[in-house]
Amino acid sequence: MAAVDRWIDDNVYSPARGFWTRANVGEVLPDPPSPLGWDLVFEGGTILGWRDCMVNRLGILDEEVDRIRPEVMGVFGGYAYLGITILRVWAVRTPGFTPEALDAAYFAGHPGIPPYEAEPWHENMATTEKMGGWLGWVMGDRDQSELEADRLAARAVRAARPDLAATSDADLLALATALKPMIRSLFDQHINQSGAASIAPGVIGAVCAAVGRPTDTMRLLAGLGGVDSAAPSSAMWELSRVVRASAALTAHFDAGIDRLHDRLRADAAAADVAVFLATLDEFLAEFGSRGPNEWDIHSHTWETRPDIALAAVDRMRGSDDSAAPHLHHSVAEAERLRIGGEIAAMLEGDPETLGQFQAALASAGTFLAGRERSKTNIIRVIQEVRMAVWEIGRRAAGRGELDEPRDVCMLFTDELQALVDGRLTGTRELVAARKAHLAWLESLEPPFLFDSAPPSNTTWPKRGEHRAPTAAVGDSLSGLPGCPGVARGRARVVLDPSDPTALEPGDVLIAPMTDPAWTPLFVPAAAVVVNVGAPLSHAIIVSRELGIPCVVSVNEATERIPDGALVEVNGDLGTVTVVELP
């Protein structure tokens, strides 16, 4: 274990709120959070926003959740965890919902989930009545004016970005810290939208099962349109068409992704390159806040490292025009409308159920897109925090105090203030020790869940220490159906969206998890298979929008499926079958 003077404090474990998991939160923070990222974005930002939503909208009493470190999300052993106990209480109090249904949404049949145990305080009729009103909004009103106001506000923050290079360190820090209340408010809305997005799919699923068409649920949630996290894929597709049509651009891309953006800038006098760069600049202005592990300001985004985006464009350029995202979307949309009409016709003799079904379809269209939009709003604002503090880091690196600008995220907020004031001493040594500690944390495999006091991270196994047995020909791996359809292709195990060079058009993408940085890789892929995930995970929402077969929660898929094996993905059944070994 690397010696370190200070790190993010673990939450105090309490048996009363004792069930914690990496499910879901592992898609938000797959890596250990950085000290400054935790300070400026999560502690006092997103986590308090989550508390605000639970108390003000979702029927949890103020005294039931800690005011300083709410038990909805916390840190143990350096990794972020989701507090399931209080979410199960919310499920108990929500009409028509149960803790078991909540577990299904988060864990998708993962083994070893502790059963829910009722306690007297879990029931609360006053808050159940409040939830009844909230459900009325979800299924009936669906006014999204608040979300639209958030969208405009987030875009305004990006538009108002000052000339960072001409802004003082003190003003840069003031800008970053001033955005914490906005992040808190936006995350309140994100939880509201996420909760709302979980309701309609359950109603649709129940109706489909009742009429004998249970597998149609997924098709009724596909091709909805307006999903923000799918939009970059379409924009990158257009960039890939420009590359494909240009000999000069093709030559640059054929030379490799490493420093591609720099090489393009150096050749900006060439006509095709100039046009491409102008379009790329527009893309980065709109979508540059996205990237791997985008919630942590320590991580690069498409704006700070454009080669990450160009790597995805590179994978798309090998696909012919028939792989265009809008074509897949159109097929999924037509299928959704056809099936919806057929099931509505089957319900004509039951007006009450028909009304519920139609309301659920409309609600799904509203809130599945709303959930992704609320996330886009936050990420756009988090990027402004990142850019402000990285500029401080750039100057410190210029003075020899840091190796690179993002190293500033190894500091806590009070230390960053001291750096800005000129009071921080030994910065290089302090940051070096913390970078070593972060690397040590990243080498560990955190427990997926615990419902008693968690073991010390010094006892955790090393990442990769356990190797799952390799699947053989004929083996079928089970997961959760994500997006319907059947596809065959060569398995390509990709562990980092920044380096997808092995993925060819028609391959099956096998990934540990996905966030928006992975989304463009869905376009050339024949299908997507993910180690983890749940019914509202990013991989499912985007694959349904793009019309690509998807199976999530395939435990240890990246280890069990050999790279290069021929596999068949059945998105209806949630299976991945090895047809041929490489």
Quick: pLDDT tens for 154-209: 999 999 999 999 999 999 999 999 999 999 999 999 999 999 998 999 999 999 99
Q: Confirm whether 109 is domain-assigned.
A: yes
Q: Is 528 helix (H, G, I), strand (E, B) or coil?
A: strand
Residue 225 has pLDDT above 90, yes or no: no
pLDDT at 329: 87
- By residue count, the chain amounts to 582
pLDDT at 106: 83
Mean pLDDT of 67-71: 95
Kindly state whether residues 36 and 115 are assigned to the same domain: yes
Kindly state whether residues 527 and 413 are assigned to the same domain: no
Mark which of 440, 462, 490 sits at the end of a domain: 440
Q: Confirm whether 261 is domain-assigned.
A: no
Kindly state whether residues 65 and 196 are assigned to the same domain: yes
pLDDT per residue over 556-579, tens digit each?
A: 999 999 999 999 999 999 999 999
Q: Confirm whether 281 is domain-assigned.
A: no
For the chain, the domain total comes to 2
Q: Is 77 helix (H, G, I), strand (E, B) or coil?
A: coil
Kindly state whether residues 113 and 47 are assigned to the same domain: yes
Note whether 438 and 410 are within 8 A (CB). yes
Within the chain, what is the greatest distance between any pair of CA atoms? 77
Kindly state whether residues 27 and 149 are assigned to the same domain: yes
Q: What are the residues whose beta carbons fall under 8 Å from the beta carbon of 223, sequence distance 6 or more?
A: 329, 330, 331, 332, 333, 334, 335, 336, 544, 545, 547
Kindly report the pTM of this predicted structure. 0.95
Kindly state whether residues 26 and 169 are assigned to the same domain: yes
Kindly state whether residues 55 and 203 are assigned to the same domain: yes
Kindly state whether residues 436 and 518 are assigned to the same domain: no
Q: What are the residues whose beta carbons fall under 8 Å from the beta carbon of 425, sequence distance 6 or more?
A: none
Owning domain of residue 410: 18-211+355-440
- Please report, for residues 43, 44, 158, 386, the alpha-carbon distance to residue 37 in angstroms, rounded to integers and kept in the order given: 9, 11, 19, 9
Mark which of 393, 415, 440 sits at the end of a domain: 440
Q: Confirm whether 114 is domain-assigned.
A: yes
Kindly state whether residues 510 and 370 are assigned to the same domain: no
Phi, psi of 249 (to 5 degrees): -70, -40
Mean pLDDT of 104-111: 78
Q: Confirm whether 327 is domain-assigned.
A: no
**pLDDT confidence tier of residue 24, bands split at 50, 70 and 90:** confident
pLDDT per residue over 471-485, tens digit each?
A: 999 999 999 898 999
Kindly state whether residues 176 and 28 are assigned to the same domain: yes
Q: Confirm whether 275 is domain-assigned.
A: no
Residue 2 has pLDDT above 70, yes or no: no
Kindly state whether residues 435 and 481 are assigned to the same domain: no
Note whether 40 and 385 are within 8 A (CB). yes
The first and second tokens of residue 437, run together, are 């500690």
Kindly state whether residues 408 and 505 are assigned to the same domain: no
Region label for 144, one of left (φ > 0), alpha (ψ between -120 and 50) or beta (otherwise):
alpha
Q: What is the distance between the alpha carbons of residues 105 and 24, in angstroms, rounded to a whole number?
A: 10
Q: Confirm whether 118 is domain-assigned.
A: yes
CATH classification at residue 500? 3.50.30.10
Q: What is the distance between the alpha carbons of residues 215 and 88, in angstroms, rounded to a whole number?
A: 27
Exposure string of 312-347, with b = 16+ CB inside 10 Å and e = fewer, is bbbbbbebeeebbbeebbeebbebbeebbeebeebb
Q: Confirm whether 568 is domain-assigned.
A: yes
Which of 293, 45, 335 lies closest to 182 in space, CA to CA?
45
pLDDT at 468: 85
Mark which of 383, 415, 440 sits at the end of a domain: 440
Note whether 450 and 85 are within 8 A (CB). no
Residue 21 has pLDDT above 60, yes or no: yes
